[in-house]
Amino acid sequence: MRAGLGALLGAALLAALPPALGFHPYYLFLLSTSFLYAAVASAWNLLAYAGPISLGHAAFFGLGAYGAALASLGGLSPWAAIALGGLVGAGGAAGAGLLSIRLRGAYLALGTLACAELLRGLALHWSDVTGGGAGLVGIPALPVLRGWPRVLTEGRAGAYYLALALLGATLGLFALIRGSRVGLAFAAVREEEERASVLGLRPLPWTLLAFALSGLVTALCGGLYAHTVRVVEPDLVFNRHYSFLPLVMATVGGLHTLLGPAAAAIALYLVSELVLHPLLPALHQVGYALALIAVILYLPGGLAGLRRGGHRAHP
């Protein structure tokens, strides 16, 4: 336990160094984006911990991005706008869970995907609010934090540390849930929903809670992303990448594990952008498919299963 905490603390300290060491802004952007993907993959994993398999996380990411962007352009501070976007995403996720509550397995996954596509189409055609295909531009940048050195909080450095903090908070939330009665309820509903009902555990509230928490984290990532790139458009923030890649990353890292999905997300994204993209620009994302195929065929427990000799993670 102490060794694991020490390793985690060491990794956090190492992750905090790049801005202080003067990394190029482009590499800071790649690293901060990898942290956002890691947070979304962990949020997807949190929902899967309660049972549902989602293909609609692009809906929650897009809701957070548009909600934060519209609020910020309307005069709200970026911090409050991102928080509001998170609440919008949480509400949208709970609504998606409620609409698809009678669905199971692949039908549930397709139902969530349909929600994401519906919202993308709505954003594309509701031009008066969303800007249509042109999107929204001129989103205010994240303000410099008072009391902190400007070199550590402005520009790409500020977005970097915020993405890292959001990832840490997401992992902390998941760790807290796994060790609580909420986590036990999630696991019970996931393993045997009918049996949980017989035991007096109503699956619906727990499933909706899992959707809302997962949507909250994903939407916060969307809001932070919107204020980092300072532009949102339907095909950017409702992109299917935010639906399919979290599933791939979580599966490769190890479903229901704490650190596996986040570690896999960072590694896969950086390999794709820094190694495969320069070599195969048109096919750089094929690495995600190859990694998923390799894990399914040879390591069903994901990369986290290497520590346990390939066995699946314990709930």
Length of the chain: 315
Mean pLDDT to the nearest integer, 195-217: 85
Spatial distance between the Cα atoms of 257 and 277, rounded to a whole number of angstroms: 29
Q: Per residue in 78-93, is it b (16+ CB within 10 Å) or e — as a string?
A: bbebbbbbbbbbbbbb
- In tens, the pLDDT along 135-156 reads 999 999 988 766 666 656 666 7
pLDDT cut 90: percent of the chain above it: 66
Q: How far is CA 156 from CA 8, 26, 52, 62, 229, in A?
A: 24, 8, 35, 21, 10
In 50-77, which residue ranges form alpha helices assigned H by DSSP? Answer: 57-73
Spatial distance between the Cα atoms of 101 and 80, rounded to a whole number of angstroms: 31
Distance of CA 169 to the CA centre of its chain: 12
Spatial distance between the Cα atoms of 246 and 189, rounded to a whole number of angstroms: 22
- In tens, the pLDDT along 288-302 reads 999 999 998 998 888
Query: Do residues 225 and 36 make contact, with C-beta atoms less than 8 angstroms apart?
Result: yes
Mean pLDDT to the nearest integer, 187-201: 72
The C-alpha angle 138, 144, 148, rounded to 5 degrees, equals 165
The β-bridge partners of 136 are 232
Mean pLDDT to the nearest integer, 261-282: 92
Nearest to 251 by CA among 41, 9, 16, 11: 41
Does residue 170 have a pLDDT over 80? yes
The C-alpha angle 45, 86, 251, rounded to 5 degrees, equals 15
- In tens, the pLDDT along 5-40 reads 555 666 767 777 777 666 788 898 999 999 999 999
Mean pLDDT to the nearest integer, 38-67: 96
Mean pLDDT to the nearest integer, 116-144: 93
Query: Do residues 49 and 207 make contact, with C-beta atoms less than 8 angstroms apart?
Result: no
Spatial distance between the Cα atoms of 64 and 84, rounded to a whole number of angstroms: 8
Query: pTM of the full predicted structure?
Result: 0.91
- SS3 state at 273: helix
Nearest to 86 by CA among 41, 131, 40, 122: 40
Does residue 259 have a pLDDT over 50? yes
pLDDT at residue 315, rounded to an integer: 46
Confidence band, pLDDT 50/70/90 cuts, at residue 171 = very high
Mean pLDDT to the nearest integer, 190-199: 66
